[in-house]
C-alpha cells in the first residue's frame, strides 16, 4: 500500500489494494483520527465476504465487509443502525454507565434489555445480547459501552442485534482501566463476576437465571477450546510481519 501526499494529515490518500488490484481509497478529511472516508470499488466489495487480508504477507492490513450495507440494484443500500445510547434516550457523552468526565449516568443493562423487549423478536435479541455481554467479559473488553451495542433497523420495521464491533482487550494495555463499561449485577470487574452474578443479572432483566448460567459455561468452554488455534494463527501472521509473537495460550 502507498500513501500520498502527507502521512497522517488532512488530505492524505491511502490506496487500498488486494494483491495487484486497487479496490479503494482511504481519504483523511481532517486531522481527526476517525475522520476518514473510504471510497471503494462497489463491484469488488459486493463480491467479497467476511474479512479479507489486503496483503497476504502483511500482518497489519485487513478489509472487513460492512454488515450495514446490502446490495440495491447496481449500488449499495445503508441499513439504518441505532446504538443503545440512542435507543435509550441518552446523549453520546453518557455512553458509559459511569462517566467520570461529565458525572452523568449512562444506560445500565436494564435500560438496554427494556429496549430489546419491545422489539418484534425480543426474546431472540435478548439472547444475542447476553451472548455479547458474556463474550466481552471473557475477552476482557472493557470498552463495551452503550454505543458499541446496536440494533439494525430494517425498512419493514424489524429490529435485530447488530454484530459485535469495536471489540478490544484492555488487559494488554497497562494504562487502561480494568472496569467494565456496564456492570453485571453490580460488579464492574470481570474477575469479580461469578455464576451467581450472571444469575442475578438474568433475573433482574426477566430472563432465566439457569439458562444464562448454562450459556456462560458453554461460551467459556468454546473460548478455551478455540484459544490455542487462534494464538497459532495470529503468531503465523505476526511472524510474516516481523512482529513479536504472542505467548502460549493458557
Query: What DSSP letter does each residue of 26-88 carry, written as one string?
Result: EEE-SSSTT-EEEEE-HHHHHT--SEE-SSTT-SS--EE--TTEEEETTEEEEPEEEEHHHHT
Contact 108, 183 (CB under 8 A): yes
Write the CB contacts of 53 (distance below 8 Å, at least 6 apart in sequence).
Answer: 61, 62, 63
Going by C-alpha positions, the residue among 114, 124, 121, 149 that lies closest to residue 135 is 149
Place of cell 468526565: 101
Given the residues 111, 114, 131, 143, the one annotated as active site: 143
Cis peptide before 5 (omega within 30 of 0): yes
Instruction: Specify whether 143 is catalytic.
Output: yes
Write out the catalytic residue numbers: 143
Amino acid at each position: 500500500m502507498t500513501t500520498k501526499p502527507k502521512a497522517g494529515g488532512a488530505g492524505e490518500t491511502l490506496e487500498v489494494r488486494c494483491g495487484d488490484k486497487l479496490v479503494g481509497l482511504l481519504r483523511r478529511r481532517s486531522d481527526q483520527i476517525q475522520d476518514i472516508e473510504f471510497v471503494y470499488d462497489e463491484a469488488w466489495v459486493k463480491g467479497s465476504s467476511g474479512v479479507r487480508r489486503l496483503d497476504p504477507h502483511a500482518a497489519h492490513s485487513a478489509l472487513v465487509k460492512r454488515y450495514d450495507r446490502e446490495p440495491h440494484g447496481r449500488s449499495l443500500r445503508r441499513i439504518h443502525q441505532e446504538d443503545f445510547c440512542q435507543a435509550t434516550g441518552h446523549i453520546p457523552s453518557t455512553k458509559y454507565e459511569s462517566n467520570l468526565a461529565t458525572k452523568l449516568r449512562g444506560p445500565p443493562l436494564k435500560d438496554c434489555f427494556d429496549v430489546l423487549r419491545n422489539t418484534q423478536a425480543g426474546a431472540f435479541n435478548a439472547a444475542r445480547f447476553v451472548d455479547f455481554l458474556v463474550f466481552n467479559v471473557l475477552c476482557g473488553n472493557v470498552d463495551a459501552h452503550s454505543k458499541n451495542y446496536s440494533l439494525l433497523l430494517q425498512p419493514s420495521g424489524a429490529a435485530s442485534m447488530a454484530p459485535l464491533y469495536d471489540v478490544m482487550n484492555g488487559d494488554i494495555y497497562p494504562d487502561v482501566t480494568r472496569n467494565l463499561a456496564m456492570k453485571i449485577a453490580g460488579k464492574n470487574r470481570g474477575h469479580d463476576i461469578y455464576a451467581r452474578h450472571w444469575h442475578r443479572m438474568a433475573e433482574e432483566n426477566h430472563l432465566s437465571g439457569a439458562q444464562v448460567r448454562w450459556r456462560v459455561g458453554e461460551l467459556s468452554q468454546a473460548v478455551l477450546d478455540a484459544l490455542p488455534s487462534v494464538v497459532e494463527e495470529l503468531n503465523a501472521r505476526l511472524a510474516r510481519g516481523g512482529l513479536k509473537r504472542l505467548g502460549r495460550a493458557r
